[in-house]
Amino acid sequence: MKISIKILVVLLLVVTLFACEKEKTDISLERDGTLYEVADQVSFYYPKDFQLNVNNENQKDVRFTKNDEMYIYATIIDDTDNVLNELPQLYGGQLEEEGAIDVYYYKEVIPSGIECYQFTGTYQASGMKFVQMVYFTEEASYIYSYQAPENVYDEQSGVALQYLESLTVHH
């Protein structure tokens, strides 16, 4: 009797664990997304149901929005003499200066074959969480990011990462 109760409890815990685990939603970038190209230098996909923010013409970035969610692409020209391997730490510090908290980053190779840094954090003033793919070169930094309110971010960040990992820098 004691053994069957223990087995029942273990099975219940295992079922609960699997039920609580988030399912990863795989997407097809070509089917579910739209290709965006920045001249012949950069390309990436963004979700088809997001709209290009046309009120952003004079800015240095491209924004795609849907409700409170936003994908942002920017190229920042680097005319400094900073050392390439120090750029991730400097960029993390810049995010913190702009009001981001809990900023973390790590290096990864994305499907296009480039080594990017994935940054995560929260903009304290707005409460928006973000994830960014950043590719550093000695000439420029290429930043593709996603941000949303915490509840939306937690639900959509897995899909957002698949779009962010579509970043391709042609050089």
Delineate the domains of the chain, giving CATH numbers in brackets: 26-169 (3.40.1000.10)
Structure letter (DSSP) for residue 11: H
Taking alpha carbons only, the member of 136, 135, 105 closest to residue 118 is: 105
The 3-state DSSP class for residue 138 equals coil
Q: Between 80 and 73, name the one with better pLDDT.
A: 73
Give yes or no for residue 15 having a pLDDT over 80: no
- How far is Cα 125 from Cα 92, in angstroms, rounded to an integer? 17
Using the structure block, give the residue that is written with the tokens 């950043």: 134
Q: Residue 160: which pLDDT band, with cuts at 50, 70 and 90?
A: very high
Token pair in block for residue 127? 């409460």
- How far is Cα 110 from Cα 54, in angstroms, rounded to an integer? 29
- pLDDT at res. 42: 93
- pLDDT at res. 38: 87
Show Cβ contacts of residue 163 under 8 Å, excluding neighbours closer than 6 positions. Answer: 27, 29, 33, 44, 45, 46, 47, 71, 146
CB 29 within 8 A of CB 45: yes
